[in-house]
Structure 1
Amino acid sequence: MLTLDKVFDASNVLKEVIRSTDCIAAPNVNPDCNVFLKTENLQITGSFKVRGAYYRISQLSDEEKAHGVIACSAGNHAQGVALAAAKNGIRSIICLPDGAPISKVEATRSYGAEICLVPGVYDDAYAEAIRQRDEYGYTFIHPFDDENVIAGQGTIGLEILNQVANANVIVVPVGGGGLISGVAFAVKQLNPRVKVYGVQAEGAPSMVKSISEDKIVCLDSVHTIADGIQVKEPGENTFEYCKQYVDGIVTVTDDEVSSAILHLIEKQKLIAEGAGAVSVAAVMFNKIPDLKGKNVVCLVSGGNIDVTILSRVIKRGLLKSGRSDTLTIQLDDKPGQLKDVSAIIADLGANVVSIHHERASEDSDITECLLRLVLETRDYSHIREIRAALTAKGFKIVNK
Structure 2
Amino acid sequence: MVAPSRKKSVVHPPHDHTHESTPQKNHHTRVKHVERKRTASISQEDGMEYNKRVRKLHKAFLAHGEELVKDKQNSGSNSDAELPIFDPDCDPENPKKLLFSDISSAAFNIKNGVQRTPCVRSLQLSSKCEMDLYFKKEYLQVTGSFKERGARYALSRLPEKYKKAGVIAASAGNHALALSYHGQQMTIPVTVVMPVTAPLMKIQFCRTLGANVILKGETIAVAKEFALKHATEHNLKYINGYDAIDILAGQGTIGLEILDQVPDVDAILVPVGGGGLIAGIAVAVKTLKPEVHVYGIEAETCPSFTEAYEIGHIITAQAKASLADGLAVPTVGGNSLETAKGLIDKVITVKEESIALSILRLLEVEKAVVEGGGAVGLAAILEGKVPELKGKKVVSILSGGNIDTTVLGRSIERGLAVDGRLIRLEVVVSDRPGGIAELTSTIAHLGASIKDIFHERAWISTDVFHVKVKIIAETRGKEHVDEIETALKKIYDNVVLH
TM-score class, shorter-chain normalisation, is: over 0.9
Partner letter of residue 112 of structure 1?
G
Name the SS of the counterpart of 2:177 in structure 1.
Answer: helix
Partner of 1:156: 254
Residue identity (%): 38
- Written as runs of structure 1 = structure 2, the 5 A alignment for 1:68-83 is 68-83=166-181
Q: How far apart in 2 are the matches of 1:303 and 1:309?
A: 12
Unaligned runs of at least 5 residues, structure 2? 1-96
Deviations 1:303-350 (A, max 9, x none): 000112221111111111111001110012234433443343334322
Task: Specify the SS of the correspondent of 1:198.
Answer: strand
* Letter paired with 2:399: S
Contact 1:356 1:372 in 2 (8 A): yes
**2:395 partner letter:** V
Greater mean alpha carbon deviation, residues 171-180 or residues 111-120: 111-120
Q: Deviations over 1:271-291 (max 9, x none)?
A: 011111111111121212401
Query: 3-state SS of the aligned residue for 1:244?
Result: coil
Using the TM superposition, name which of 166-175 and 307-316 deviates more: 307-316
Aligned to 1:180: 278
- What is aligned with 2:43? none
Q: Distance in 1 between matches of 2:211 and 2:234?
A: 16
Q: Which residue of 1 aligns with 2:305?
A: 207
* Selected match of 2:206 from 108, 114, 134: 108
Once the two structures are TM-superposed, the CA of residue 8 in structure 1 deviates from its matched residue by: 2.2
Amino acid at match of 1:17: G
Go from structure 1 to structure 2 and tell me whether the alpha carbon gap of 1:234 and 1:289 turns closer, same or farther (over 3 Å shift): farther
Give the alignment's Cα RMSD to 1 decimal: 1.6
Distance in 1 separating the partners of 2:447 and 2:118? 38
Q: Which residue of 2 aligns with 1:165?
A: 263
Tell me the TM-score normalized by structure 1: 0.96
Tell me if 1:92 matches 2:190: yes
Q: Which residue of 2 aligns with 1:13?
A: 109
Query: Is 2:319–2:329's contact at 8 Å kept on the other side of the alignment?
Result: no
Selected match of 2:342 from 235, 240, 244: 244
Counterpart check, 1:262 vs 2:340:
no
CA distance in 1, matches of 2:291, 2:209: 40
Partner Cα separation in structure 2 for residue 167 and residue 347 of structure 1: 48
Could you report, residue by residue, the CA deviation over 1:42-76 in whole angstroms, capped at 9, with x for unpaired residues?
11100000100110110112122122101010010
Tell me, what secondary structure is at the counterpart of 2:143?
Answer: helix
Tell me which residue corresponds to 2:122: 26
User: For the Cα contact (< 8 Å) 2:118–2:137, is it kept in 1?
Assistant: yes
Does structure 2 conserve the Cα–Cα contact (< 8 Å) formed by 1:222 and 1:231? no
Residues in 2 aligned to 1:68 and 1:385: alpha-carbon distance in whole angstroms: 63
Task: Please tell me the residue identity of whatever aligns with 1:82.
Answer: S
- The answer to whether residue 273 in structure 2 is matched with residue 273 in structure 1 is no
How far apart, in 1, do the equivalents of 2:342 and 2:311 lie? Answer: 15
Match of 1:300 in 2: 398
Preserved contact between residue 222 and residue 232 of structure 1 (Cα < 8 Å): no
Larger RCO (CA under 8 A, 6+ residues apart): 1
The answer to which structure has the higher helix fraction is: 2
Q: Summarize deviations over 1:169-222 as a string: whole Å, max 9, x none.
A: 100100000011111110111111111101111111100011122221111443
1:324 equivalenced with 2:419 (yes/no): no
Q: Are the aligned partners of 2:485 and 2:497 in contact in 1 as well (CA < 8 Å)? A: no
- In 1, Cα distance between the equivalents of 2:131 and 2:210? 43
Q: What is the TM-score normalised by the length of structure 2? A: 0.77
Preserved CA contact (<8 Å) 2:460 2:467: no
The aligned counterpart of 2:324 is 226
Tell me if 1:189 matches 2:283: no
Q: AA paired with 1:12?
A: F
Deviations 1:105-144 (A, max 9, x none): 1111122210111133211110111001111211111111
Distance 1:276 1:27 in 2: 19
CA distance in 2, matches of 1:122, 1:92: 18
Aligned to 2:342, what secondary structure does the other structure show? helix
* Corresponding letter in the other structure for 2:243: D
The match for 1:140 among 232, 238, 242 is 238
The one-letter code matched in structure 2 to 1:85 is G
| Structure 1: 5+ residue stretches without partners | none
Q: Distance in 2 between the 1:16 and 1:247 partners? A: 32
Q: CA deviation at 1:395?
A: 4.4
Structure 2: distance between partners of 1:172 and 1:317: 22
User: What letter is aligned with 1:103?
Assistant: M
